[in-house]
Amino acid sequence: MASSADSQQTVVARLYWDGVEARSRAQRAEGAEQRRLLLRSLDLHGRAADILRAELDGCPDEPLLSEQLASLLYSLGSSQTAAELTGDAVSSLDESEHHYQRSALAPADLASRIGDVRARRAAAHSAAGHAASALVDCDRAVEVYAGAGLPSAPPPRSLDFARLLSVVAVVQARYGDPDQALFCAGEALARYREAIDAVAADPDAHLPYANGMAADVASRIEAARGNWDHALGVDGFVLSIAEQGLGDLAGALARTGVHLRAAGRPADAAPLLARAAGLDPAAVPAQQRVLDEGVPVTLGEALLRAGSALGEPVEALHRALVSGGSATVTGRLGDPREAAPYARRLGLLASDLVRADGDPDVAWRLALEGHLLYDTALRHLGGSPGDWLRAHGEGWARTGITALRLAGSRHEPAVRDDLRRLLAALSDRLEELAASGHPVAGAAELARLTAR
């Protein structure tokens, strides 16, 4: 007779695969039927997770159960994001990371899984409008891969990093620095091209990331900058794959045609646009809107524009922070523990620009990047957090205050509320310092702005 544990595992497996089937059917459905199938998948995976949690309660030190539950929760979090249940998704992915940490995976495999969870959580935060949290998770996702030496791994492991970079590129393009979004997209596409046979052998696993994320970001940013050779090079890669029946042919034709037309090559564009319109009348207008929207200001642009507006020398700061390619904020500097002085300068430039009625988009980029630099400096701190906060807490508080006010003026309540939640944790630490006899200037105002 099968043991009770074996029986439970059989039930978990059935619930899991039934949930996968429901999610697969949802991807092919539309409207109410798609929603129904997504919710069925969530219910099935949620029931499986409850069984595994109960088993873990009885065997809390069983690493295989921890790994199994972590994997299931990763899948559940992805589905919850797709169903626009982003708060549930973040909670599931938090729990997934916790259980992966309790598994017995080999170091490289553990780093890969943790990085994937963080990238997926970044996507959930991004979908919810949580700009700062999304960018922090992107940073931590890339960092755990880099710490295990995975960025230099050959195929097929390189495709795992390409997938992660594709997700990070999308988040960076929405809320972060377009330069970093483009760097991530380019690095992802290079890995996909290197392993093109593996991509073609399993297109469902790779093309949503290669074409739908990395190539989309790279083409959009290059086109917004008028770098037509680069944009059309990416478009050609996507179109060549779509012509083989892999991917959205109408979208690939439309994007290539729109870019050719904008590049001053209407004769080359015309047949592609006509084919796209024949396949999907909405494809060409959609791609034209993407081109017309442009991209946000980069940190490099923001620094130069702020320096010009304020009459401040920013060349050294520009060289230090943006002279080399980087995927996320931690990569801006060789040693993130040295980030605080740069973060302070960004915060001061942002607040000075606000007082001078300068461009709010430029000020926002400076303030947000300043906050992120402070965050990475504290995360990589080797010494006492108390000593560090006594030295840098005022600068972070004032940078955070500027960022909060700018977020409020941008009419993006989700961005503001997310930043307020993150800065409330800083405020609590500064209050503890004050209680121990070390008050920090700016802490009282930050506490008022982040009051729950």
> What pLDDT shows up at residue 28?
86
> What pLDDT shows up at residue 411?
85
Rounded to the nearest integer, the mean pLDDT of the chain is 95
Give residue-wise pLDDT tens across range 334-361.
Answer: 999 999 999 999 999 999 999 999 999 9
Place 2 in a pLDDT band, splitting at 50, 70 and 90. Answer: very low
Q: Record the tokens describing residue 84, joined without a space.
A: 């626009």
Place 1 in a pLDDT band, splitting at 50, 70 and 90. Answer: very low
User: How large is the average pLDDT for residues 140-168?
Assistant: 95
User: Does residue 3 have a pLDDT over 50?
Assistant: yes
User: Does residue 5 have a pLDDT over 80?
Assistant: no
Alpha-carbon distance of 342 to 6, in angstroms, equals 56
DSSP letters of 302-366? HHHHHHHHHT---HHHHHHHHSS--SSGGGGSS-GGG-HHHHHHHHHHHHHHHHTT--HHHHHHH
User: How large is the average pLDDT for residues 80-90?
Assistant: 96
Give residue-wise pLDDT tens across range 275-298.
Answer: 999 999 999 999 999 999 999 999
pTM: 0.94
User: How large is the average pLDDT for residues 23-48?
Assistant: 93
Q: What is the three-class DSSP state of 3? A: coil
